[in-house]
Amino acid sequence: MPPPQQGRGRARIAFSDSAAKQLEAITSEAAVHALDRALVVISVDPEAGTPIPGGASAPQLRQYADEVEHVRVLYFVTTLRTVVVVAYIEV
């Protein structure tokens, strides 16, 4: 009998240069916590966000917004769905 297949693990989170600068500017512990929760959701389920209409030549941008935590993240997922690249952060 073959071993049970494990589910796909979390996607790795990477930040664009501009998102990394936005991340550095966050000083509130509550904002960091809220962003961390949003990033966990996206890493577990990269499809959690909604697609943003755009050109077909670039990676499909998605938006994840958490109205309770007041977080908005724009991101795209790599072809193999192993890395989520965060392009913009709003906390």
pLDDT tens digit string along 70-88? 999 999 998 888 899 999 9
* φ/ψ of residue 9, rounded to 5: -75, -175
The CATH architecture assigned to 12-90 reads 2-Layer Sandwich (3.30)
Give the integer Cα–Cα distance in Å for 38 and 55. 26
- Please give the full DSSP string across 10-77, using - where no structure is assigned: PPEEEE-HHHHHHHHH---HHHHHHHHHHHHHHHH-GGGSEEPP--SSS---EEEEETTTTEEEEEEE
Residue 59 has pLDDT above 80, yes or no: no
Q: What is the mean pLDDT of the chain?
A: 87
What local confidence, expressed as pLDDT, does residue 9 receive? Answer: 82
Reported as a pLDDT band with limits 50, 70 and 90, residue 57 is: low
pLDDT tens digit string along 24-44? 999 999 999 999 999 999 999
